[in-house]
Structure 1
Amino acid sequence: MLGRGTWSLAAAMTAICVVLIGPSTPGGALVAEPLPPGAAEDVIPNRVMTWNICNPCGRSGHDLGLAAEIATYAPQVVGLQEACARDVDRVRDHLEALYGLVYRVEYGMVQQNWSRCGGLPWSPGAFGQAILSAAPMTDRVNVEYPDGGSEDRGYMAVTTTVGGRSVRVFNTHLAERRQEPVRARQIGVLAAEVARHDRAIVLGDFNAVPDSQELAGMWALAADTDPRCRPLAAGACEPTTEWQSKFDYVFLRGITPLTHRVRPSPHSDHYMLHTDLSPS
């Protein structure tokens, strides 16, 4: 594989060509957004990220911006919520073409939604969850919760490699706020499957703050990546949304976290949450 420096040079040359000779395709040539100082040089093999990417957002170049944000931190695994399959395909392609990062994708779509994901009214785009992984993924399952609340919701799971070890990775998006009983039932479905695995990573937007009663089923099985964040210490939990609530989690079962970061982004009303995990 070409090094990140080579890919950065290629992206810069693409930008120069756009200025000198104009777009090379009817839709315009793609230009990589510059990454900030300190951006990852390559995929970080023990890093995982969860991100509700906001949909619909109505911003021009949304998929390019998402790709740049992911490339900055370059996790081994990324769990996306509120994802349209077409958008995720473009993000994956941008990551490879513009930043030299090769990811595989598995989908956990729960509905076909024209208003969110476009397409023709009789052939709307798929909407739900997705997992990007630099390593191969196997044994994908996609489960729609029996009761999604005001909108269909579900979870997906794959087996992949993080930090050189095999692990079961879940990605979920629970019912919207003010639907506590629905979320409690959804967590019951999810927790029953997580409990079957000694080592598991559960990514997602749970739409619930840490001391919410409905989260008890997850806290009984796993710990949040932030060692300070617990139900009885909810005030110490770093917010993950623009409205200063913690709704997004990386729950770990049988796995020890090293560090974690929460990063705001102009491309979503949820922040990116990524964590580096101990390989042992």
Structure 2
Amino acid sequence: MQTSEAVGIHFGEAMLLGRSTRVLAGALIVACMVLVGPGAPNGAPSRPLSAEAVRDVVPNRVMTWNLCNPCEESDVDRAAEIAAYAPQVVGLQEACVRDVERIRDYLEDLHGLVYHVEYGTVLRNWGRCGGMPWNPGAYGQAVLSAAPMTDHVSVEYPDGGSEDRGYMAVTTTVDGRRVRVFNTHLAQRRQEAVRADQAGVLAAAVARHDRAIVLGDFNAVPDAPELTGMWELAEDTDPRCRPTPTGTCKPTTDWQSKFDYVFLRGVVPLEHRVHPTPYSDHHLLHTDLDVT
């Protein structure tokens, strides 16, 4: 039988061991917090940036991408798709403000790419963007730019068709020059007359600028009559794509139609690429430009 003194010694040792274990556990937690950092976005893999990940954007590259909404896609994956091509300017359609905020954070925290953001939201929709039923998330367009943006406008079309639609515009820097950038999403398919009116509103705004880049999902093939006004003002970044049956236009959607455009006014296209992606029913379209 152990004496009371021996029991006391063992009890003291146990208390000391327990205290030491707690101190060690606390130190490990603090160390993990230092490694993760307070700025790691929720749901993102927390890891330090590799040297290869920290790089600059391509200063003369612009991109347009319809994110697909509602779609159960990860904003981490969306950010990785954008980071793979690192454009100076990105125009997003079907974009929820909360998603764009997360995408911007992931681009910086996980890929070392820092963007400013402006929104062209025209609708608050709980089904598309979540939030509380009495305070749904904002939905529409967004522009991410590596350079600051000025003169931001957001315009809702007089008739959105089956869903409110609009365009936004900013002035920012591409290829070292200031240029007006538009981003739009026209009415859904089988609403040709509505799209024609919307394209007319957009074309009137674009016509006020000698140099402009127009990004967006126009929901119309190149030879659709409703795009006539845009073709009179600008050219597609693909020089082989024309509003004629003989034009050779790469499809930009999973259903093999070209709906997504980078229209250029007073800007010279150099090289463009269309990239199918598993994270949307629209492909990524980016192009390198000579703005000077």
State the TM-score, normalized to the length of structure 1.
Answer: 0.86
Amino acid at match of 1:30: P
Q: SS of the residue aligned with 1:78?
A: strand
Deviation at 1:239, TM superposition (A): 0.1
- 1:49 matched residue in structure 2: 63
Q: Distance in 2 between matches of 1:75 and 1:149?
A: 32
- 1:260 matched residue in structure 2: 272
Runs of 4+ in 1 over 6 A off after TM superposition: none
- Is 1:30 aligned with 2:45? yes
Cα-to-partner distance string for 1:183-219 (whole Å, 9 max, x where unaligned): 0000110000000000000000000000000000000
Cα-to-partner distance string for 1:116-174 (whole Å, 9 max, x where unaligned): 00000001000000000000000000000000000000000000000000000000000
Deviation at 1:100, TM superposition (A): 0.4
Q: Give unmatched runs, 5+ long, in structure 1.
A: 1-16
Q: SS of the residue aligned with 2:205?
A: helix
Equivalent runs, 1:92-111 vs 2, <5 Å: 92-111=104-123
Q: Does the aligned pair in 2 maintain the 1:49–1:75 contact within 8 Å?
A: yes
| Cα 1:40/1:274, change in 2 over 3 Å | farther
Q: Distance in 1 between matches of 2:161 and 2:136?
A: 21
Q: SS of the residue aligned with 1:69?
A: helix
Amino acid at match of 1:91: I
State the TM-score, normalized to the length of structure 2.
Answer: 0.83
Deviation at 1:279, TM superposition (A): 3.4
Amino acid at match of 1:57: C
- 1:206 matched residue in structure 2: 218
Cα-to-partner distance string for 1:218-237 (whole Å, 9 max, x where unaligned): 00000000000001145510
Q: SS of the residue aligned with 2:240?
A: coil
Equivalent runs, 1:1-280 vs 2, <5 Å: 30-31=45-46, 41-59=55-73, 62-233=74-245, 235-280=247-292
Q: Does the aligned pair in 1 maintain the 2:251–2:258 contact within 8 Å?
A: yes
Q: Give unmatched runs, 5+ long, in structure 2.
A: 1-31
**Aligned length in residues:** 256
Identity of aligned residues (%): 73
Q: SS of the residue aligned with 2:80?
A: helix
Q: Distance in 2 between matches of 1:134 and 1:25?
A: 21
Q: SS of the residue aligned with 1:236?
A: coil
Q: SS of the residue aligned with 1:220?
A: helix
Q: SS of the residue aligned with 1:198?
A: coil
Amino acid at match of 1:47: R
Q: Distance in 2 between matches of 1:81 and 1:160?
A: 19
Amino acid at match of 2:105: D
Q: Find the structure with the greater CA-based Rg.
A: 2
Q: Distance in 1 between matches of 2:165 and 2:41?
A: 37
Cα-to-partner distance string for 1:39-76 (whole Å, 9 max, x where unaligned): 994200000000001011123xx100110000000000
| Cα 1:211/1:86, change in 2 over 3 Å | same
What do you get for the CA RMSD once the two structures are aligned? 2.4
